[in-house]
Amino acid sequence: MKIVVLAGGISTERAISIVSGTKVCRALREKGHQAILADVYFGIEKVDWENPFPKQYDLEDAVAYIKSFDSEVENLKKSRKEFFGVNILKLCKEADIVFLALHGESGENGKVQASFDLLGIPYTGSGYLGSALAMDKGLSKQLFWEGGVPTPDGVLAKRSEQKKTAEEYGMELPCVVKPSCGGSSVGVSIARTEEEFEQAIAEAFSYEEEVVIEKYIEGREFSIGVVDGEAYPIIEIAPIQGFYDYHNKYQAGCTVETCPAVLTEEQTKEMQGYAVKAYHVLKLESYGRIDFLMDAQGKMYCLEANTLPGMTPTSLLPQEAAVLGMSFADLCEKLIEVSIRRFERE
């Protein structure tokens, strides 16, 4: 297949996206696909249009080209109006499918998906609606409540109505403060004192106009991939220090990950059932990853859904797939397969 792997972009997760995209592109090429790696925002200036998906391909050179734009992101975001980089849409139209290895702003919030729908470009992952719903943590929390998916109590706070204390928001300490539409735990804080709360609110608002403040649940952390409506084995995430923040997610050796998680059969079925319910409540398609907490009494809480889960060497979905006997490359092909089926049904 001719495949464009889209990575990079303008979000706070740009660096992780590049790692995901590189690993996916390499795996697909090892499987014999004519995959190329491109930055969705900066594009590729020079393309051999007689052979845009070559059998011989220098992936490392492509990665270096993408990274060469890293220092230009913030300046160009202020001045540039057009999102898609040079030649990106033309390349994507010529591909059999686009593998979205994007994370965070614009790549995971439904905007790219909606654009591709209008242009008739097939892509991996959920459509624009599910992507948008899952990206907004405040909105997804409301849908969880209405859909019978247990989730921590919380409130949505706006920068224009910013308050100083947790009590003013009707919340008790400790609590969790996080940007409403961020990812990879960027800007997420656990506030145990009023001073920490004030700092947490300031940091979260430095990323976005809206933040979610929710009850802190002390317990075990889990994640469950859902592929084509089927729950994968549960993985438990136990950071050696602190919580599952950006550093612990992507720095090897900082987190103990156990898959399948050590749970009773009843607990496993219950959590997987909630994962599938959350997947449908948020109108996800093809695949996603649902994150959970479980307290000491065994009560489960759904935290959020990820519509384009990380595909880095430390990412969770590939570890879950491995328990099913699926290699990383096999997983990449599986995600393409279920995504193509979605477009064939339309």
Distance in angstroms (rounded) separating the CA atoms of residues 308 and 112: 12
Per the annotation, the verdict on 75 as an active-site residue is no
Choice among 214, 285, 291, 320 that is catalytic: 291
Residue 32, classified by CB atoms within 10 Å of its CB into exposed (0-12), middle (13-18) or buried (19+), is: exposed
Choice among 210, 236, 285, 304 that is catalytic: 304
Choice among 8, 104, 183, 310 that is catalytic: 310
Choice among 306, 315, 320, 339 that is catalytic: 306
Note whether 87 and 62 are within 8 A (CB).
no
What DSSP string runs through 226-292? Answer: EETTEEPPPEEEEESSSSS-HHHHHSTTSEEEESS-S--HHHHHHHHHHHHHHHHHTT--SEEEEEE
Per the annotation, the verdict on 105 as an active-site residue is no
The two structure tokens encoding residue 222: 């889990």
Task: Centre a 10 Å sphere on the Cβ of residue 226 and count the other Cβ atoms it contains.
Answer: 23
Choice among 13, 108, 236, 320 that is catalytic: 13
Per the annotation, the verdict on 304 as an active-site residue is yes
Per the annotation, the verdict on 184 as an active-site residue is yes
Residue that the structure tokens 């950006």 belong to? 246
Choice among 14, 41, 289, 315 that is catalytic: 289
Note whether 122 and 97 are within 8 A (CB).
yes
Q: Which residues pair with 175 in a beta bridge?
A: 191, 215
Can you say how many angstroms the Cα of residue 257 is from the centroid of all Cα atoms in its chain? 18
Known catalytic residues? Answer: 13, 184, 250, 289, 291, 304, 306, 310
